[in-house]
């Protein structure tokens, strides 16, 4: 059955794969951007944008202050007012199930609380696309260095935006609800460098960098606010105890979760030109 899917940021790095996946599955995609009149800080514009949609796929922009809570509240109230049956929220990273007092985390809780018949929350881990983004790809291609604010020995369950998009399609088509961790297979920085190097046919090395240095690399591309906030998030992650990777069992059963490897993803990338998914 063909459905109408309203996709936030449908021309951006996270939203575009979602739009592409729904179109490939035979659905009608309604792209939502500020250019099309859908402003997350304007609830009335969202109600108009959502009207008649069967589902809304939401991911919040890279905003770390109280504005992002307002955006989440607006989206939640708008899907209710517009009579949308299904909200799919892509948290863009790990998120708690309850409020913490941290705006960018609490916003995810606010959005997920939308009172509509079906709510699906997708919790991806770190996006592989951050390795091919402009702030990473230039050094990788030029110097053979994969620079990222993670220790080389630390395993990370990297995921591809296309796999998260496929999970969103499955959630809508099968009316799946609940919270689903979407981790990839954990690999260390050394293993990431080896897999990327095999695809690019060159020797690469992983170089851990400080979160603040990472923020400075982001600044020309994402602006001051996003750069500062992202650096702070990575400082928080560095200070927190490192636990096991999230369990993908629920997503595997309900959404057919089968994430691609770093090597599989890298073979599909046009190096070094790629969009950011931070």
Written as six digits, the tokens of 81 are 């007012």
Entry pTM: 0.94
Q: What is the pLDDT of residues 34-51, one digit of tens each?
A: 888 899 999 999 999 999
**Looking at residue 124, what is its pLDDT?**
97
Can you tell me the distance from the alpha carbon of 94 to that of 38, in angstroms, rounded to the nearest whole number? 26
Question: Interhelix angle for 67-82 vs 103-112, to 10°?
Answer: 10
Q: Residue 227: which residues within 8 A CB-CB, separation 6 or more?
A: 215, 216, 218, 219
Host domain of residue 126: 4-266
- With respect to residue 209, please indicate whether it lies within any of the assigned structural domains: yes
- Total domains in the fold of the chain: 1
Q: Check if the beta carbon of residue 62 is closer than 8 Å to that of residue 277.
A: no
| Parts of the chain with a pLDDT under 70 | 272-278
pLDDT of residue 273: 45
Tokens of 182: 């979407």
Tell me: the pLDDT tens digits for 53-90? 999 999 999 999 999 999 999 999 999 999 999 999 99
Q: What is the pLDDT of residue 276?
A: 44
In whole angstroms, give the CA distance from residue 106 to residue 101.
7
Structural domain includes residue 79: yes
CB atoms within 10 A of CB 202: 11
**Any domain includes 36:** yes
pLDDT in the model for residue 94: 83
Whether residue 223 is contained in a domain is answered as yes
Structural domain includes residue 18: yes
- CA–CA dist 138, 126 (Å, integer): 20
In a domain, residue 271? The reply is no
What pLDDT score does 266 carry? 96
CATH code of the domain in which 243 resides: 3.40.50.720
Phi, psi of 25 (to 5 degrees): -85, 0
Instruction: Detail the DSSP E strand segments found in the chain.
Output: 4-8, 28-32, 55-58, 86-90, 118-124, 145-148, 178-182, 205-208
Q: Is residue 272 part of a domain?
A: no
How deeply is 247 buried, as exposed, middle or buried, from its count of CB atoms within 10 A (0-12, 13-18, 19+)?
exposed
Residue 274: inside a domain: no
């Amino acid at each position: 059955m063909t459905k109408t899917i309203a996709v936030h940021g449908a021309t951006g790095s996270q939203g575009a794969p979602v739009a592409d996946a729904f179109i490939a599955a035979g659905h009608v995609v309604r792209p939502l951007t500020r250019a099309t009149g859908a402003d997350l800080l304007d609830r009335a514009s969202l109600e108009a944008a959502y009207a008649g949609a069967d589902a809304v796929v939401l991911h919040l922009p890279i905003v770390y202050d109280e504005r992002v809570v307002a955006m989440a509240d607006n989206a939640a109230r708008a899907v209710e007012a517009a009579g949308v049956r299904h909200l799919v929220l892509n948290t863009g990273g790990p998120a708690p199930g309850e409020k913490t007092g941290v705006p960018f985390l609490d916003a995810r809780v606010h959005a997920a609380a939308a009172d509509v018949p079906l709510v699906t929350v997708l919790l991806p881990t770190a996006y592989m696309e951050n390795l091919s983004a402009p702030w990473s790809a230039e050094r990788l291609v030029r110097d053979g260095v994969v620079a990222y604010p993670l220790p080389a020995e630390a395993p990370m369950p990297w995921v591809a935006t296309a796999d998260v998009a496929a999970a969103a399609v499955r959630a809508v088509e099968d009316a799946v609800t609940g919270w689903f961790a979407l981790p990839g297979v954990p690999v260390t920085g050394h293993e990431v460098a080896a897999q990327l190097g095999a695809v690019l046919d060159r020797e690469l090395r992983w170089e851990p960098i400080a979160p603040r240095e990472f923020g400075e690399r982001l600044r020309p591309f994402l602006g001051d606010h996003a750069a500062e906030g992202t650096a702070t998030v990575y400082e928080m992650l560095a200070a927190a105890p490192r636990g096991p990777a999230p369990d993908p069992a629920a997503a595997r059963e309900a959404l057919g979760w089968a994430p691609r490897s770093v090597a599989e993803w890298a073979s599909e990338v046009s190096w070094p030109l790629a969009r950011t998914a931070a």
